Structure 1
Amino acid sequence: MDTLWYLGKLALALVMGMLCARVLGLRRFNRTAALLQTTLVWLLLFFMGVNTGGIEGITTQFGTIGLSALVLTLLGVAGTILFSLVFSYCVSPPAQTEGIAIAKRKEQSWMRRLFDIVKEPLILVGIVVLGLTLRLTTALFSWFESSLVTYLLYTLLFFVGMGMVHKQISFKGVFSDKSLLLLPFYTIAGTYLGALLAPLLTPFTIKESWGMLSGFGWYSLSGILISDLGFPILGSISFLANLLRESFSFFLIPLFGRLGKRYYYPAVCTAGATSMDVTLVLLSSHFGTRTMLGSIYHGVIMSLAAPILIPLFF
């Protein structure tokens, strides 16, 4: 019952943001909402670090957290790639996928590409580390209460809802193409399939592993949400695992693009929730602009699924 009530409050915050954007108008407060959304993510990540720093004996668990996140990421991504390849082939044989056209790619220097890949993740990790360090080394946050994170999270989802309306996304074309319609199913089922092996390689149960991987690349939300549910260590692992998933997708999407159009499905599914924003340009440049609608649809559905699925496992 508590989980349903928690989900209801998250959904209400999202819906209220969408209604607010429609009432105010699609062009009003567009940039303000986007700026506030970014600011809230930074604040939430900072306080996630503060919250984690308050755990007794946390310094002895850093190695375990990093290794567990890497193992979970590899399992989730491997399961996603395998599942999406097999089932997309069954649903949409090669002759029916000619609409996916691989675009010409502009090669950049490897230094520039590496910088573009690591810049944002490093900033966000740095924010978490800053909060963690300040909690461990100073008394500045002796006043901190975890309930603060809950209210910030509701506010963030409010502005996420506004952002969805501002983007004016229509999915009419997707519903007539079952190969694109099933993309979120491939991602969820593949991720959970890979996580079935987690108890063999990590100290976590299948249920915990599914929960930590249910951000599907939306690392800022997954880490914050799980920490807010009362599992700060699992929240830190989830944050890193989903951050690694996004980072891996930057390398895997170009590789899949060179392998051929059939590999659009594992490419977009590996990207997870980021296929509608961070990795959208990369997907369209390697698989053609005609795939943009499918990528955005997939990212939106995964972003809606994450806050619904995560609480179900904790």
Structure 2
Amino acid sequence: MYTGLLLILGALFAGYCIRIHSRSLQLVLRRFSSAMLYLILFLMGFGLALVEDLGSNLLAMLQQTLFLVGALLIANLGCLYLIGRYLAMPSPHSEIAGQSKGASLAEPLRLIATVGVGLLLGLLHGQALPAQSAIAEWALVALVFAIGIDLRAAGISLRQLLLNRRGLLIALTVVVSSMPVGLAAAWYFELPWAAGLAMTSGYGWYSLSGALIGDGLNPVLGSTAFMVDMGRELLTLLLIPVLMTRSPAAIIGYAGATAMDFSLPMLQRAGGNQIVPVAIASGFILSLLCPLLVLFWLGLV
């Protein structure tokens, strides 16, 4: 277990040490990351089909997902709303009234479909693929390595991000308020306490959290983590117009790691350019903490 976790963590830092300036190479890298992600999710669905007593496990996965999504929503937004009252956040100023939600939903739906196709083919095939575990592990290492390069390509120094007081406090509030939810889920569903903490440390980065937990624990918990973090992203999409005028800190924090990429254009449209530095800082910090914390908790299971 620890060898695999160190390999993945090493791949992240090795990727972060590489700086790529070419836009074309960055595009190739993102396409490669996307291909690895689809492969991992397909193999996760395939492995899920081979789990004994699949029906009851799928029911448990649904129960855990609903519990975690609901509890994280309440805990994160409640704490973020309180901390936001003392951060003197910039007043939101909407720049664009409307936005298409259909296009934003397309990618999550394709990823869910990939897991479903893997599950269906796994049920039809009835046995593991040759070297399935090794392929999944090395695809994950390649994905994390590419993610490390992509994070470095953001072009913002760690010093600049970590010195953004508002972004740092928002990110830390998300981390701290998520931990009791993980412990409560572990107790309620009779899981190892560290597994519960790992499942609440994805902060919306479903493409990474599900893959790490699926590889480190089992496909059922990996699929649960994937759905929990995807649920956070979809709820963010719906809540941005509602919460931006009430508490910018709350919606920026709840967006989690996606505040620096997927959710950033929508946050900027709803709140104006003045909230962009805070969103990027919070999202980037959570993006760095996600693999570190998930791997740390998995090492304690």
- Give the TM-score normalised by the residue count of structure 2: 0.90
CA distance in 2 between counterparts of 1:116 and 1:85 reads: 29
Asked whether 1:164 is paired with 2:151, we answer yes
Residue 243 (structure 1) aligns with: 230
Asked whether 1:52 is paired with 2:36, we answer no
Residue 89 (structure 1) aligns with: 85
CA distance in 1 between counterparts of 2:244 and 2:62 reads: 29
Total equivalences in the alignment: 298
Residue 293 (structure 1) aligns with: 277
CA distance in 2 between counterparts of 1:225 and 1:244 reads: 18
1:153 to 117, 140, 150: 140
What's the secondary structure of 1:65's corresponding residue?
helix
Paired AA for residue 207 in structure 1 = A
2:72 to 73, 76, 95: 76
Paired AA for residue 21 in structure 1 = R
Paired AA for residue 152 in structure 1 = A
CA distance in 1 between counterparts of 2:124 and 2:55 reads: 12
Kindly report which structure 2 residues correspond to 1:260-279, keeping only aligned pairs within 5 A, or say none. Answer: 263-279=247-263
Kindly report which structure 2 residues correspond to 1:54-203, keeping only aligned pairs within 5 A, or say none. Answer: 54-90=50-86, 92=87, 96-97=88-89, 99-108=90-99, 112-113=100-101, 115-138=102-125, 141-170=128-157, 174-198=161-185, 202-203=189-190
Write out per-residue CA displacement over residues 261-294 of structure 1, whole angstroms, 9 at most, x where no aligned residue: xx11110111111111111111111111122122
Q: Is contact 1:76-1:192 (8 Å) kept?
A: no
What's the secondary structure of 1:102's corresponding residue?
coil
CA distance in 2 between counterparts of 1:12 and 1:176 reads: 25
Residue 284 (structure 1) aligns with: 268
Structure 1 residue 191: Cα displacement: 1.4
Structure 1 residue 12: Cα displacement: 1.9
Paired AA for residue 240 in structure 1 = M
Q: Is contact 2:43-2:132 (8 Å) kept?
A: no
Q: Is contact 2:18-2:152 (8 Å) kept?
A: no
Q: Is contact 1:83-1:189 (8 Å) kept?
A: no
CA distance in 2 between counterparts of 1:117 and 1:70 reads: 22
Q: Is contact 2:69-2:232 (8 Å) kept?
A: yes
Q: Which segments of 5 or more consecutive residues in structure 2 lack a partner in the other structure?
A: none
Paired AA for residue 93 in structure 2 = I
CA distance in 2 between counterparts of 1:27 and 1:118 reads: 26
Query: Which moves more between the two structures, 285-294 or 267-276?
Result: 285-294
Residue 203 (structure 2) aligns with: 216
Q: 1:257 to 1:165 in 2, by over 3 A?
A: same
Residue 34 (structure 1) aligns with: 30
CA distance in 1 between counterparts of 2:193 and 2:126 reads: 37
CA distance in 2 between counterparts of 1:239 and 1:53 reads: 16
Q: Percent identity?
A: 24
Structure 1 residue 242: Cα displacement: 1.0
CA distance in 2 between counterparts of 1:196 and 1:186 reads: 16
Q: 1:154 to 1:86 in 2, by over 3 A?
A: same
What's the secondary structure of 1:33's corresponding residue?
helix
Structure 1 residue 196: Cα displacement: 4.4
What's the secondary structure of 2:244's corresponding residue?
helix
CA distance in 2 between counterparts of 1:164 and 1:26 reads: 14
Paired AA for residue 49 in structure 2 = G
